[in-house]
Amino acid sequence: MPLLLNILIPTIFAGIIFILGERVAAKQTRRLFVLAALLNFFCSVFSLQFFYEGSAAFRQWLFLDHISTPILLLTASLFVWVSIHTVGWLQAIDALTVRGAVDGPAAPTISSRLYSEAIFLACMLLFLGAMNLAISATNLSLFWVAIEATTLVSAPLICFQRSKAALEAMWKYLLICSLGIALALLGLFFLAIADPTRSGLNFFVLRECANLLDLQWGKAAFILILAGYGTKMGLAPFHTWLPDTYSATPGVVSALLSGALLNCAFLGILRITQIMPEALHTSCKQMLLALGFLSLFTAAVFVIRQQNYKRLLGYSSIEHMGLLAIILACSLRAPLMQRVLVWHLVGHSMLKVALFLLAGNIVLAYGTRSVNMVKGMFESMKWNASLFLLFLLLLCGCPPSPLFATELLLILELSSWQGAVLLLLLFMVAAGMLHAAMRMCMGSNPKRESMRKSALLAEKLAPMPAISGFLALFFGCSLLYMLLKLF
C-alpha cells in the first residue's frame, strides 16, 4: 500500500495545486509543493518494509527489490532538496523582478513565463509520481506506460521560461524520446512473442522462465529495448537530445532530469538484462559494452573545449550513463557488480543534482550559460564557487568520492586494455570539466557591481546543493572505509 501511496500522493497534490492555481497566494502553493515532497519521502521510507515482502496480488503490479529500493529512496530524498531549492529559486526570481521586469544581468535567462507557476509545480509533482510508478512497476508494460508519462509531464517543465532555445529543446526532447520509447514498446511486443508462458510481461515470471525465452525474438527485443530506453537514458549514439535539453532548462529541472529520470530509464535496461536467457548473455554484454564505451568516448570528445557549462554537465551525465552500462555488462558475469552499480548510481545522482542546482545559481547570478562570460566566481559568490569546484572534483572521481570507489572496482573487473581505455577517457572528461571550472572560478569579475544583488540571492540558494553533495561525500567516505577494511 505505501508503494501505491508513493504514486498517489504526488498526483493528488499536483491536482490540488493545479486546481488552486492562481486563486491562492503563491506562498501557499509553494508550501503545498514542499509538503508533498516531504510526505513522499516519509512514504518511501515507510515502504521499505515491503522490500521482498508483500502479498502475491500486490506484487503483480508493484514491488521493490535490492536495486529499486535505493533508487526509490534516492529519488524521494533528491526531490526534497530540489523542491526546497525550487521554492527558493522562485522567491529569488520574485525578488529580482521589479515592476514586472527582471532586473540585473540575469534578465535574458529569466524571460517571460510560458504558463503559470502553479502548473510548473504541478507538473514537477506529476513527474515525481510517474517516476515512482516506473521504479516500483512489476509489469514491464506498466513500466513502459510510466516512462512515457515521465516524458510527457517533464516536457512542459523544459520551457517554463519562454525562449526560442527552450522551445527548440522541448521539441527535440519530445520527439526523440517519444520515438525511442515507442521503439521500446515494439521491443516489448517482441518480448511478448518470445515469452512462451504468455504471462503478460510480469517481471517475476519472465525471470523465472528466462531460459525458455525464444532466442531470436528475445535478442531482437533486447536490441529494441536497449535502443529505446537507451535514448531516454542518454546513451550515445541516441544521446543528441540530452545536452540540448539540459542547457536550455532551468537548473532545478535539469537536476531532476539528470539525477532522477536517467536512473528510471536505466532501470528499464537493467530489468530487460535480468530476464535474458544465459545463451544471450555474451551478445548482451557486447552490446552494453559497445554503447557504454561509445558514450564515454562521445563525452570525452565534446567535453574538451566545451563553451557551455550546463552542456558540460550534460555530457558528464552521458559519461556516467556509459559507465553504468559498462558496470551492468560486467554484472552479467559477476553478480557482485550489481552492488557497485547501485553505489555508482546513487553517488552520481547526488553529485549531479548538487551541480545542476549550483549551475542554476550561476545562471541566476551571471545571466549566461557560457564558460567565457563567467569570470571570478570566487570573488563574487564564494560559497557557490567553492561548492561547484569541490563537487566537480568529486564527480570526476577524486577520492573520497563514491565514484572513485566504483570506478576502481569496475577497472579491476575489466580486462587490462579495456581498463586502460576507460581510464584514459575518464581522464579526458575530468581534464575538460576542470579546465572549464577553473576558468569560471578564477580571475576578476568585470560585472561585479551590476550583479551584486543577484549574486547575493544566488549565495542564499547554496544550502540545498551543499546538503546533496556533502551526503555524497559522506557516502563516499564510508564506502572507501568499508572497502579498505575488506582488503
Partner 1 sequence: MNGLIEVLLLGFLLCSFMLAGSSRLMHCIKLVATQGLLLGILPLAVAKVDGGSLGGEALFVAFINVAVKGAALPYMLQKAMQKADVRRELEPLLGYAASGLVALILIAVSFWFAQQLNYSEQVVSRLAAPVAFSGILIGLFLIVARRKALTQVIGFLCFENSIALFGAGMMLHYGALIELGILLDVFVMVFVMGIAVFQIKQEFQHINADLLNTLKDKPRK
Chain residues that interact with partner 1, rule: CB under 8 A: 114, 139, 141-142, 144-145, 148-149, 151-152, 155-156, 159, 162-165, 167-172, 174-175, 178-179, 182, 185-186, 189, 192-193, 200-201, 216-217, 243-244, 247-248, 302, 306-308, 311, 370, 372
Name the minimum Å distance from CB 388 to partner 1: 21
Alpha-carbon span 414 to 420, nearest angstrom: 9
C-alpha cell at 284: 548482451
Name the minimum Å distance from CB 174 to partner 1: 6
Nearer to partner 1, 104 or 243 (CB): 243
The answer to whether the CB of 225 falls within 8 A of the CB of 205 is no
Nearer to partner 1, 46 or 189 (CB): 189
Name the minimum Å distance from CB 155 to partner 1: 6
CA count, 13 A, side-chain hemisphere, 291: 29
Name the minimum Å distance from CB 178 to partner 1: 6
Name 480's Cβ contacts closer than 8 Å, sequence gap at least 6: 399, 400, 404, 405
Name the minimum Å distance from CB 156 to partner 1: 7
Query: At 406, which amino acid appears?
Result: T
User: How would DSSP label each residue in 196-263?
Assistant: TT--SSBHHHHHHTGGGS-HHHHHHHHHHHHHHHHHHHT-TTS-THHHHHHHHS-HHHHHHIIIIIHH
C-alpha 315: how far from chain center: 12
The answer to whether the CB of 242 falls within 8 A of the CB of 234 is yes
Nearer to partner 1, 142 or 358 (CB): 142
Nearer to partner 1, 174 or 261 (CB): 174
Alpha-carbon span 137 to 51, nearest angstrom: 13
Nearer to partner 1, 329 or 429 (CB): 429
Three-state DSSP at 276 gives coil
The answer to whether the CB of 310 falls within 8 A of the CB of 246 is yes
Name 206's Cβ contacts closer than 8 Å, sequence gap at least 6: 140, 191, 195, 197, 199, 213, 275
Name the minimum Å distance from CB 177 to partner 1: 10
Alpha-carbon span 70 to 212, nearest angstrom: 30
Alpha-carbon span 446 to 105, nearest angstrom: 12
Name the minimum Å distance from CB 185 to partner 1: 5
Nearer to partner 1, 119 or 403 (CB): 119
Nearer to partner 1, 137 or 471 (CB): 137
Nearer to partner 1, 104 or 228 (CB): 228
Name the minimum Å distance from CB 389 to partner 1: 23
